Structure 1
Amino acid sequence: METEQRIFDPRAGLWLLIAANLIAFRPHAFWLELALIGLLLVLILGHGRLTMAAKWAVGYCALVAFQQFILPMSPMIIATSFTIFATYTRRMFPCLMTGALMLTCTPLRYLIVALRQLHIPQKLIVAISVTLRYFPAIREEIGYIRDAMKLRNIRGLDRLECTVMPLMVSATETAEELSAAAVTRGIENPARKTSAVSLRISPLDFLGMLAGLALLVISFVVQ
């Protein structure tokens, strides 16, 4: 069961995303990576996503086990082929966890307010807001297409054609509708924007930011 869900402050999410990327592509000890994974798991649990935390923990453990135990016992061609893939996937794991937490626990309106407070250019905010609304709309449309194919009992290779063609048409229409909706709501208006929501960083998110900063500093100090 999921506990009560809380809003993940977008400023904390953006900072942790930057810190995770900087740590990921720097030489660092394995314990530092474990500490970062542990921090993100605590944040996910703190925001009421128990199932999500369990899935990420199991996925990371499986990846480490695959890299440490299975690859060394595999034939040379398999070990060579998958070592780089496993290494870079593990390095990107904290970034993926942070992004998933933001997508799950940070409503888009809070993200837009945070970007405005950080003085991000309005054109970039418009592009981000339309893009983030686009993919959920396309995912919903794919669900409608699958339901329609089930009703018509479409199977085999016909499913590919019946998915791609309507999706291409829908993708274009969805982009036009979202752009028109954004313009109608005055998103391109250069006047100062107001919002019905106010951002207040929680103690958990603030401690997460401090812990992320500490791990980033340690990654530069300890090689």
Structure 2
Amino acid sequence: MEQLQAVANVKKGFCLDPRIKLLLMAVVATSEFLYSHTAFMIAVALIPFALLLTNRQYKTGIIFFVLFTAGLVVQAVQNSIQFPMVINMLIVLLVGLVLRLFPAFMMGAYFIKSTTASECVAALGRMHIGRQITIPLSVLFRFIPTMQEESSSIKDAMRMREVQFGTKKFWRDPAALVEYRFIPLMISVVKIGEDLSAAALTRGLDNPIKRTNITKIAFTHYDVITVLISAIMLVLTFFIPQ
């Protein structure tokens, strides 16, 4: 019993249930496409921004805030300044990408960073989600950190060989940067995916018997407060004129 208690780490402080995170991610991902009210878009973007700050992802949150604010500014002055047709198309594309897709991307970044694989599997089990979705998601949660470590190792190896942007080797053969960086990464990605899939099956995720989980997940007052604040904030934006 002591060993089980040592393994089961109970998070303290502000922590949302994975099911609430999935709900908020679905709301953010769909809301930005359904309604183009500026105040509503800002309210939707504030949800992932606030969650990123609570999870101490300050760098990601600041980058998102700067890009989203720049997108709003460009959208506001776009009609008052005449740009060439090609540049105007690029601006519309980039602004739409930032305003419509980035909030959902940031919710995904928060979900992955703040949720462990065990919590995700336990939450999906409570939702009676099939193993066709549970197994790929459990692999994904371990795949992204492993891929980041592999990418960092490849970057360090390239730096030791002076194959990076701005060096003499780069200017002599710019294509070498792509070849030496992405080809090893692609090979590593395939190998990592196979290893993690085998590890997930070894742990019995495909076992038809209902599995147990020592990870404790439950709705708390943080979930209720977050959902209420988000709902009130989104509803109030409908009373703000465009």
Please indicate the TM-score interval, normalised by the length of the shorter structure.
0.7 to 0.9
**2:111 paired residue number:** 102
Shift of 1:119: 0.7
Equivalences for residues 1-223 of structure 1 within 5 A:
6-69=14-77, 72-77=80-85, 78-154=87-163, 155-156=169-170, 157-214=175-232
CA displacement, residues 167-220 of structure 1 (integer Å, 9 cap, x when unaligned): 233222212211221121111111111112111334333222234445666789
CA displacement, residues 79-109 of structure 1 (integer Å, 9 cap, x when unaligned): 2332243134302232122112112212222
May I ask how many residue pairs the two structures share in their alignment?
A: 220
Corresponding letter in the other structure for 1:127: P
Secondary structure of the corresponding residue to residue 34 of structure 2: coil
- CA distance in 2 between partners of 1:20 and 1:27 (Å): 11
- CA distance in 2 between partners of 1:43 and 1:176 (Å): 33
CA displacement, residues 4-57 of structure 1 (integer Å, 9 cap, x when unaligned): 975442111110111112211213421122222233333333334444433322
Q: Which has the higher contact order (CA 8 A, sep 6+)?
A: 1
Point out where structure 1 has 5 or more consecutive residues left out of the alignment. none
Corresponding letter in the other structure for 1:24: E
Asked if 1 retains the 8 angstrom alpha-carbon contact of 2:17 and 2:219, the reply is: yes
Asked if 2 retains the 8 angstrom alpha-carbon contact of 1:32 and 1:219, the reply is: yes
- CA distance in 1 between partners of 2:234 and 2:43 (Å): 11
Secondary structure of the corresponding residue to residue 146 of structure 2: helix
Q: Taking structure 2 as the reference length, what is the TM-score of the superposition?
A: 0.77
**Higher mean C-alpha deviation, range 184-193 or range 81-90:** 81-90
Shift of 1:71: 6.4
Asked if 1 retains the 8 angstrom alpha-carbon contact of 2:41 and 2:99, the reply is: no
Cα distance, 1:174–1:164 mapped onto 2, change above 3 Å: same
Point out where structure 2 has 5 or more consecutive residues left out of the alignment. 1-11, 164-168
Q: Taking structure 1 as the reference length, what is the TM-score of the superposition?
A: 0.83
Instruction: Give the superposed CA RMSD.
Output: 2.9
Corresponding letter in the other structure for 1:207: I
**Higher mean C-alpha deviation, range 153-162 or range 195-204:** 153-162
Corresponding letter in the other structure for 2:51: L
Asked if 2 retains the 8 angstrom alpha-carbon contact of 1:114 and 1:199, the reply is: yes
**Higher mean C-alpha deviation, range 63-72 or range 112-121:** 63-72
Secondary structure of the corresponding residue to residue 193 of structure 1: coil
Asked if 2 retains the 8 angstrom alpha-carbon contact of 1:110 and 1:199, the reply is: yes
